[in-house]
């Protein structure tokens, strides 16, 4: 796989050594067991796969090269490059301005831009409508388009099944940048509807089976269907694709459920044979967490941006088994007895008691999202080791893996 030029501040000597060693021992990536970091009284189980993925590293490389190669130019990002606060703040500190927030709200009017300016398209991609507006200003986007190739794979798969007269059902978060982009590209070729979860999929089934009226559909799926969508006609042949960062098991369950509904209603030829469209990193990270959770541990820490979809699903997996703390940087570990963390389902940050010295030894599971720099994960490990006051340093562990 290609090696990207990512700022050194995002790299970690410890994590790089661990990942390199694991890759040498397991080139086919069949071993999903975690890596044990044994500090004696502190034992950390590190997920087999975590951190920056191909799409994220590609986006970061393009963004920082764009800044260094274009001194004096106005450089804009359509929205957050990736869902990591440190990376986005670093880009702002380099003079990059954000045109929109995460939900598509305009922060800087496009009228302010000129054909001499640069606009970077983030890893999530963008809508066809937004790209058209930028090109009408005279701005060339191709050179600065960081759309993840696995997102583009979903767009291509949608186009393939659209050409066979299937309606596209997207499993994703309706307001997420990637889902909005996929919706835009899919709607160019076919009717499209978004389902956010199994609850909405079961609601959709009622319109497939014509148990509910079209008027009810428009109310229930407001803002989640393409222009001209007719539930009486457009739900007889469907194919399911997804936002690449959704929970794989959820997407599979929704696809299996809707397939059975279609078979019961109109026959199996009316359900497109789509392969799973999650990206490799999402699959690997989720599988690695599932295997990591087989280790006997006292708690789990998940590191990443609070608005990161792929990270939130790692949190959900960990919460099923263990007390889980979702943090975005090492500073949130305030002391051996206190931690500030994000409550995923309540969407708020709180400070809670921490249990770092209540057991001897204490075992902690750690993973991070695909947009989280390895350096932050190493800093979390160093902070835990510092507060636990073990007899072994992180640098000693690095020597073991080198």
- Write down the domain spans for the chain: 8-53+280-401, 54-144, 149-270
pLDDT band for 402, please (50, 70, 90 cuts).
Answer: confident
Cα angle at 279 between 277 and 280, to 5 degrees?
125
pLDDT band for 1, please (50, 70, 90 cuts).
Answer: low
305-323: average pLDDT? 96
168-187: average pLDDT? 96
Mean pLDDT of the chain: 94
> pLDDT tens across 231-246, in order?
999 999 999 999 999 9
pLDDT at 59: 95
Entry pTM:
0.93
Query: pLDDT at residue 267 above 80?
Result: no
**Which element (helix H / strand E) includes 290?**
helix 280-292
Instruction: Give the whole-angstrom CA distance, residue 199 versus residue 204.
Output: 9
Structure tokens at 286: 């989720």
CATH, domain 8-53+280-401, list 3.40.1010.20, 3.30.360.10, 3.40.50.1820, 3.40.50.720 = 3.40.1010.20
pLDDT at 179: 96
Instruction: Give the whole-angstrom CA distance, residue 307 versus residue 147.
Output: 18
Q: Which of 57, 178, 316, 330 is catalytic?
A: 178
- Confirm or reject CATH 3.40.50.11270 for domain 54-144, answering yes or no: yes
pLDDT at 274: 81
Catalytic site residue 142?
A: no
Question: Which segments of 78-209 does DSSP mark as H helices, in order?
Answer: 85-93, 128-137, 149-162, 177-187, 198-208
DSSP 53-113: -HHHHHHHHHHHHHHHHSTTS-EEESS-SSS-HHHHHHHHHTT-EESB-TTS-BSS-GGG-
CATH, domain 149-270, list 3.40.30.10, 3.20.20.60, 3.40.1010.20, 1.10.3720.10 = 3.40.1010.20
């Amino acid at each position: 796989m290609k090696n990207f030029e990512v700022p050194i501040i995002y790299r970690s000597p410890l994590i790089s050594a661990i990942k390199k060693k694991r890759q040498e021992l397991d080139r086919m990536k069949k071993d999903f067991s975690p890596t044990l970091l044994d500090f004696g009284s502190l034992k950390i189980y590190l997920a087999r796969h975590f951190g920056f993925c191909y799409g994220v590293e590609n986006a970061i490389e393009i963004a920082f090269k764009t800044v260094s190669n274009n001194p004096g130019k106005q450089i804009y990002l359509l929205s957050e490059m990736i869902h990591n606060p440190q990376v986005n703040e670093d880009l702002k500190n380099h003079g990059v301005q954000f045109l929109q927030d995460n939900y598509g709200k305009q922060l800087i009017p496009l009228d302010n831009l000129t054909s001499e300016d640069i606009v970077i398209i983030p890893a999530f991609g963008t809508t066809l409508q937004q790209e058209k507006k930028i090109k009408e200003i005279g701005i060339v986007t191709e050179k600065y388009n960081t759309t993840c190739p696995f997102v583009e794979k979903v767009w291509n798969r949608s186009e393939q099944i659209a050409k066979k007269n299937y309606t596209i059902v997207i499993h994703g978060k309706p307001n997420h940048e990637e889902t909005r982009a996929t919706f835009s590209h899919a709607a160019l070729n076919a009717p499209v509807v978004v389902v956010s979860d199994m609850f909405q999929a079961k609601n959709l089934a009622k319109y497939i089976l014509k148990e509910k009226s079209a008027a009810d559909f428009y109310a229930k799926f407001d803002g989640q269907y393409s222009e001209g969508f007719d539930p009486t006609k457009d739900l007889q042949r469907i194919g399911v694709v997804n936002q690449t960062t959704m929970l794989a098991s959820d997407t599979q369950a929704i696809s299996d459920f809707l397939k059975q509904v279609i078979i019961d209603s109109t026959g199996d030829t009316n359900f497109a044979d789509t392969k799973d469209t999650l990206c490799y990193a999402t699959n690997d990270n989720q599988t690695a967490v599932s295997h990591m959770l087989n280790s006997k541990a006292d708690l789990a820490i998940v590191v990443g941006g609070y608005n990161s979809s792929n990270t939130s699903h790692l949190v959900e997996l960990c919460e099923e088994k263990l007390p889980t703390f979702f943090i975005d940087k090492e500073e949130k570990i305030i002391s051996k007895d206190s931690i500030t963390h994000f409550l995923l389902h309540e969407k708020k940050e709180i400070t809670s008691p921490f249990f770092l010295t209540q057991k001897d030894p204490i075992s902690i599971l750690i993973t991070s999202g695909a947009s989280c720099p390895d350096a932050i994960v190493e800093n979390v490990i160093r902070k835990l080791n510092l507060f636990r006051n073990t007899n072994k340093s992180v640098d000693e562990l690095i020597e073991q893996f080198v």
